Amino acid sequence: MRPTLVVANGPAVFVTGGDGPGTSGPFLFAEDPSEAALRFESMGRAELPERLGPILREIPPTSRLLAVPPRLGRAISEWTGREVEAPTVQELRRGRSALPALDPEVERRFFLALGRLRLERALRAPEEVLITLAREEERVERSVGREARAAESFVVVPNSPAERHLPTWDRARQVLGELASELRRNLEDEARRLVPNLAAVVGPRTAARLVAAAGGVAPLARMPSARIQLLGSRRRPSPERGPRFGILYRADRVLDVPLGRRGAYARSLAALAAIAVRADASTHRLVSPGLVSRRDRRVEDLRRARP
């Protein structure tokens, strides 16, 4: 007796093989593409198509029941109380070759909805939220600085349209400043939640920007300290004189170090940051108190050192 294969193929489920003739289906998860994508991603017992039930009940108990993907097999097993196996590569190829083609427009709309659903789910991840906030906060900060410089160079002509423009412009700059402050608070809260050790060592804003520049916590944790030190630098290192630091120039306590010693501080801080972010990415242990103590001792040593 041939095994019966149940396949979730895009927005529909097909049943093929067994002793019955041909292939049964398609059994759509839902008529609406967005609802079908949501049910496909969840794919529990409640999400299976109603019309699939009578077909599954007709399968003899002695026939092997196969299903792909695995979560479809788990749902069918829960629904029918039967053991559901995973097909071999040959069984899957043979079963898929018997499936009829779906309407291309239905498939296109389903996969667009599925892609959007998965993108939305990925963007809800704490790491993606932090990266988005960091990039937005940096963009708004540039806008605030640009507007402030423009206001300083703006020439006011009394009793002119330019003078009447000033109150509206002042309100716009005030709103932009409030947006920047709110973004900064949200960014710092997320950084302390996601990378607490790194945020304590270099500061939450700097930690968030490091994560955003690296593309995530895991890529940042794989970087050597020398790469972290230069991450975000605008100039390319050269034999004569390269940049001493990138994003770390905004780190905590940089301004407490004499100007000529900040390169040495950046090297030490990058080494501590590498330890901190590796703990955040892997062990999730709180190691920041010891690292902050080492950072502060390094600051005092550099302040006492002769120029």
Name, in order, each residue with C-beta under 8 angstroms of 162's C-beta and a sequence gap of 6 or more: 154, 155, 156
- Pairwise CA distance, residues 1 & 57, whole Å: 17
Residue 283 DSSP code = I
Residue 119: phi and psi, rounded to 5, are -65, -45
Taken in order 49, 55, 58, 59, is the CA torsion positive or negative?
negative
Q: How far is CA 57 from the centre of its chain?
A: 42
In the predicted structure, residue 209 carries a pLDDT above the cut 90? yes
Q: Per residue in 181-193, pLDDT tens? A: 999 999 999 999 9
Q: Which residue(s) pair with 23 in the sheet? A: 16
Query: What radius of gyration do the chain's Cα atoms show?
Result: 30
Q: What is the pLDDT, as a whole number, of residue 306?
A: 60
Q: What is the pLDDT, as a whole number, of residue 287?
A: 95
Peptide bond into 196 cis (omega under 30): no
Q: Which domains does the chain have, with CATH numbers?
A: 4-122 (3.30.420), 126-304 (1.10.246.90)
**Strands of the chain, DSSP E:** 4-9, 12-17, 23-28, 65-68
Identity of the amino acid at 41: E
Residue written as tokens 């944790």?
221
Identity of the amino acid at 103: D
Q: Per residue in 114-123, pLDDT tens? A: 898 888 887 7
Q: Per residue in 48-105, pLDDT tens? A: 888 888 888 888 888 888 888 888 888 888 888 888 888 888 888 888 887 888 888 8
- If you average pLDDT over residues 165-174, what whole number do you get? 90
Tokens of 296: 């502060």
